[in-house]
Amino acid sequence: MTELIDTHAHLDLLQEDPAEVIRRAGKAGVTRIVSVGIDINSSRKALEAAWEFPEVYATVGVHPHNAPELDGESLKKLVRMARENKVVAIGETGLDFYRNLSSRKDQERAFQAQLELALELSLPVVVHDREAHLEVMAILERYAPFKHGLIMHCFSGDYAMAEAVIDMGGFISVAGPVTFPNADRLRELVRKIPLKRLVLETDCPFLSPHPFRGRKNFPERLRIIAEKVSELKEVPLDALSLPNPFPKMG
């Protein structure tokens, strides 16, 4: 069975027994799970899960919705956590101009601070981009190239944007929407992107793939996403070779 990495999960938001979630994931071939921080508290929970379970790794970061939280003291906390062995990236960070739950000024400030932290600590950065393609790319270009990696979480841009991300040293992350009946544009994008720059995620508990759309998502459903990508790439699932975008994970 192909070993799969769920590159973006929110285990702390599942409100389920993590041991059982991890067991079911392993049975589906998902052997490693990256639990992603969206604020200081969830980053700490992601790290605690990584300490407890060998299959789990953590990212630490502040989501754009929570950007006002990132002050000098919280940045110090992020730095301390980011130095832990099982922390494999900074994020998720970025810009969200769809919900606008924090000001654009705060979002841009927090995004840039975390990009600087990722570069300082030689870690990849996990980027959230919703309705902010031009602004996200403009900021990323200031810090490129990303020698230690860049993961565009739940990518929603076009092929030109994907090429630009790849040229910066980035990876394109695909989630449950690739299985949705109306996602022809995303599927065509996946067909074009080189496998060596394509990674998979569940974003659980969000974005359950078809036919579970609208229900709570779990890491085990990464296999459904992998099966769709396998079909699009015309590669048998047991031969689907996807990269590990996290150097520290090994």
3-state secondary structure the chain: CCCEEEEEECHHHHCCCHHHHHHHHHHCCEEEEEEECCCHHHHHHHHHHHHHCCCEEEEECCCHHHHHHCCHHHHHHHHHHHCCCCEEEEEEEEEECCCCCCCHHHHHHHHHHHHHHHHHCCCCEEEEEECCHHHHHHHHHHHCCCCCCEEECCCCCCHHHHHHHHHCCEEEEECHHHHCCCCHHHHHHHHHCCHHHEEECCCCCCCCCCCCCCCCCCHHHHHHHHHHHHHHHCCCHHHCCCCCCCHHHC
Does the structure show a pLDDT above 80 at 114?
A: yes
* 207-247 pLDDT per residue, tens: 999 999 999 999 999 999 999 999 999 999 999 999 999 99
Q: Model's pTM, two decimal places?
A: 0.97
Q: Do 126 and 63 contact (CB within 8 A), yes or no?
A: no
Identify the pLDDT of residue 226. 98
Does the structure show a pLDDT above 80 at 117?
A: yes
Q: pLDDT band at 2, cuts 50/70/90?
A: confident
Identify the pLDDT of residue 1. 61
CATH class of 4-249: alpha beta
Write down the mean pLDDT value for the chain: 97
* 54-77 pLDDT per residue, tens: 999 999 999 999 999 999 999 999
